[in-house]
Amino acid sequence: MAELSFTQEELDEIEKIKAKFPTVKAATLQVLWVAQRKYGHVEPEVQQLVAETLDLPAAHVHGVASFYTQYYKEEMGKFVLDVCTCLSCQLCGGYEILHHLEDELGIKAGETTDDGMFSIQEVECLGACGYAPMLQVTNGVYVNNLTEEKADELIKNLREGRMPEFESMQMPKLEKRNQAAS
């Protein structure tokens, strides 16, 4: 990888981020986002750049980057499909969806398609247990209550450049409360 650096504009953004927090360490997450936005991932060299920019130990930045699945530690596909396989998703078919996507895309979790279009990751809880099984597309939109047909439609739409739209989900308790109030 060529020598890495932040532009002056990015450094100015980083200074604004640092100013929001009482310690520089607290800015690590947001500065990693700046780096990932620029490079598409936070490989060890990018983590080192963040560490040097924040004047923090590289081990600290590596620890933060490696803890969160949202930070990509290697080059990824254009669309990253984070398939949740925590208990709720697992019980509702999360692994079946993961394996279906692997079969459809011809890759295993942790891999990227040859055309660089898709990467699949198996991730722990994305915090949408009530809508399991679910996945997240490239740290963005959640796709809930997945079925194999819904996963196929998602792949087709992403290939055609159409991102899934935000899906509003009703909370069962809130739905009951709203029904009682009307």
Query: What residues form the annotated binding site for [2Fe-2S] cluster?
Result: 84, 89, 125, 129
Q: What residue has token string 């080059």?
A: 75
CA distances 131 to 38, 90, 137, 175, 178, Å, are 32, 12, 15, 15, 19
Please count the helices (runs of H) and the strands (runs of E) in the chain.
8, 4
The strand pair at 79-84 and 142-143 is best described as: unpaired
| Binding residue positions | 84, 89, 125, 129
- 155/168 Cα distance (integer angstroms): 20
For the chain, how big is the Rg over CA atoms in Å?
19
